Structure 1
Amino acid sequence: MISVLPAPGADLETADASATAWALAARGGDPEAADRFVRALHGDVLRYVTYLSGDPQTAHDLTQDTFARALGSLHRFEGRASARTWLLSIARRAVADSLRRAAVRPRIADCVDWRTAQERAQPRGLPGFEDGVALLDLLEALPEERREAFVLTQVVGLSYEEAAGFVGCPVGTVRSRVSRARTALERLVRESEAPGVQPA
């Protein structure tokens, strides 16, 4: 079997050029090139979706979804960017779609009074627990786009560049949203601490 991995000492540029050539050949209908394209970038996609999703258990499904999307839209790939860059942008969208689906998917409770069970399952008496609950309440007051940018950069720990790639907007837009979210949160904290003043 011919190895599709870069030879020892081969640089990333050479590997990218090979993967891009295979993607272009696969676009033309070459099944062997499609196989080489998938094998060459499978590890990179798997590591990337694991990092973005934070869930190693779903990483293989997300990787498969990424390649299914890529092969389905290969006819639009023109090689302007490397196949690796193109594929990782598809992987980012696959993870984002997966997270959105998970957020709206109903969860099944195995008890009659699921609200009480959920409240009892919450940790109590931990350092910072009350502050964490207060932060969640304050975040709910932010517009969705600002809340998302703030959580991705300040809570999850993504860089502004990573967050911009994740949400699909310019880095400056993410910086602006985070700055406005901080300003709004600071105002809400001041209001909540003022005696006799109800927070907005």
Structure 2
Amino acid sequence: MTTSVLPVPPGTQRAAADAAATAWALAARNGDRHAAEHFVRALHGDVLRYVAHLSGDPQTAQDLAQDTFVRAFDSLPRFEGRASARTWLLSIARRAVADSFRRAAARPRPADTPDWQAVVERVQPRGLPGFDDGIALLDLLAALPGDRREAFVLTQVAGLSYEDAARCIGCPIGTVRSRVGRARAALGRLLAEADDASRTAA
């Protein structure tokens, strides 16, 4: 018997992962606790990355991810698997972030005191592999308009198809394609400007 050693195309892996996560969500809906654990483990990373980029505040990402899963389990009895569990969950994450913005806007503004979060960030280790690249990407993404950043993160970071991203955001697929294209163009310009600035400084 011959076993293929050809690599599995990334799209095939993503489709298989989505199918598994959706099956776990459906099983969890029927009371399977092990399936619920698999569901959370499979999608926690995607949710965490998405809410961090969407909120622009990595400090609150864990809380937003937890809120997303709490809402998801509350809504699980109504989940029918028409869309993938990942698309469904990221739609819930989007609402969780929007609600957090509304709550923050309604709270009294804090006094003008030193920002403890900024102090903590300044003392974090900087020599870790990928640290600077991650900070640079966050800075570049923060410069994009919110709608373009969201479309870019959903498709290029979280790996959703344009169709699933459109369903998650609630807009036509052509709008998602346009936003991603403009985001890529803007990121390209920002990278070129950063390279020019670094060469000039050198």
Q: What TM-score comes out, normalization by structure 1 length?
A: 0.54
Contact 1:23 1:74 in 2 (8 A): yes
State the superposition RMSD in angstroms.
3.3
Instruction: Spell out the pairing of 1:53-132 with structure 2 (5 A cutoff).
Output: 53-109=55-111
Paired position in structure 2 for 1:17? 19
The residue identity in structure 2 corresponding to 1:92 is R
Question: Could you say what secondary structure the match of 1:159 adopts?
Answer: helix
Q: Which residue of 2 aligns with 1:156?
A: 145
Q: CA separation in 2, counterparts of 1:169 and 1:15?
A: 23
Q: What is the number of equivalent residue pairs in this alignment?
A: 125
Q: In the aligned structure 2, how far is the partner of 1:65 from the partner of 1:89? A: 13
Once the two structures are TM-superposed, the CA of residue 159 in structure 1 deviates from its matched residue by 2.3
In 2, Cα distance between equivalents of 1:48 and 1:161: 8
Q: Aligned with 1:11: secondary structure?
A: helix
Gaps of 5+ in 1: 1-7, 112-153, 175-200
CA shift, 1:168, in A, is 6.0
Task: Check the 8 A contact 2:64/2:93 in 1, yes or no.
Answer: yes
On the 8 A contact 2:54/2:149 being kept in 1, the answer is: no
C-alpha separation in 2, matches of 1:170 and 1:50: 22
Is the 1:160–1:171 contact (alpha carbons within 8 Å) kept by the matching residues of 2? no
Any stretches of 5+ residues in structure 2 without a counterpart?
1-6, 114-142, 153-164, 176-202
Instruction: Determine which structure has the larger helix proportion and give its number.
Output: 2
Q: Cα gap change, 1:25/1:76 in structure 2, threshold over 3 Å: closer, same or farther?
A: same
Greater length-normalized contact order (CA 8 Å, ≥ 6 residues apart) = 2
Residue 100 of structure 1 and its aligned partner are, at CA, apart by: 1.1
**Residue of 33, 38, 43 corresponding to 2:40:** 38
Counterpart CA distance in 2 for 1:33 and 1:55 is: 30
Within 2, Cα distance between the matches of 1:19 and 1:69? 17
2: CA distance, partners of 1:161 / 1:110? 31
Shift of 1:104: 1.6
Q: 1:53, 1:79 → 2: CA distance?
A: 27
Secondary structure of 2:147 counterpart: coil
| Aligned 8 A contact 1:49 1:63 in 2 | yes
